[in-house]
A and B are shown apart, each in its own frame.
Chain A
Amino acid sequence: MFVLASIALFIAMILVLVRLFTGPTLYDRVLAVNSFGTHTVLFIGVLGFLSGRPDFLDIALLYALINFVGTIAILKFFRYRAIGDVRRETSKTES
């Protein structure tokens, strides 16, 4: 059953990767990166069960954390063109 799940997740990752490379706008790409990261977390977990070493779950948890922070950082960078100190007039338009 884990073989089936890993094959399905692999196909899903390839499909999301195609959307990541052909996405017309930036937000399509960000969405595809986020979805690809979620699939990767699941894939690492399934792969750990498949090889009989569930220690890979720590790596999956770390990947989930990095994925979330990375998505937010990409969005913030492309909105404000800066990651660290955002003090501009554009912060007023945020509701």
Chain B
Amino acid sequence: MMETLVNILSWILIVSGSFFAIIGAIGTLRFPDFWSRLHAASISDSAGVILLLLGMMLQAGPGLIAVKLLIILIFLFITGPTSTHAVANAALVSGLRPRQLPSAKPGTDAEPAPDDENQQKQGDAS
């Protein structure tokens, strides 16, 4: 009874984790812009990792293997958003900007030489 419950729960977790991993990969491949690809990559970084590793922990049972999986989970949970933030910050500093709406005319509002202004604002804020 208990084993069946654990099996069903870990089945659900692993299947949904695989689903989120493959959804994140499809989004990384298909989205049109770098800044939207960041969102898709972080889906498989957080949701896929958490669900798959929790499912594997349930399947492994208590012991050393579950502790190793927990260590991997904690490490990926910290470093995934950190490296995503590092990539986003490096892209922003290097001057990559999001796609504008077609209605926003270039050079009016959205980006009149955005490098200097943004960096001055960041310097003021920090």
Contact = CB atoms under 8 A, between A and B. Distances in A.
Interface of A: 1-2, 4-5, 8-9, 11-13, 15-16, 18-19, 25, 27-28, 30-32, 34-35, 38-39, 41-42, 45-46, 49, 54, 57-58, 60-61, 64-65, 67-68, 71-72, 75, 78-79, 93-95
Contacts, number: 145
A42 B48 CA distance: 9
B76 A64 contact: yes
A30 B76 contact: no
A9 B49 CA distance: 11
A95 B119 contact: yes
Given A11-B22, A13-B25, A61-B68, A75 B87 contact: yes
Nearest to A92: B123
Contacts of A34: 41, 45, 83-84, 87
Nearest to A22: B29
Contacts of B84: 31, 34
A38 B86 contact: no
A71 B21 CA distance: 20
Greatest chain B CB density within 10 A among A2, A42, A60 is at A42
B15 interface: yes
Contacts of B48: 38, 42
B29 A18 contact: yes
B86 A27 contact: no
Given A5-B52, A38-B76, A95-B119, A16 B29 contact: yes
Contacts of A18: 29
A38 B72 contact: no
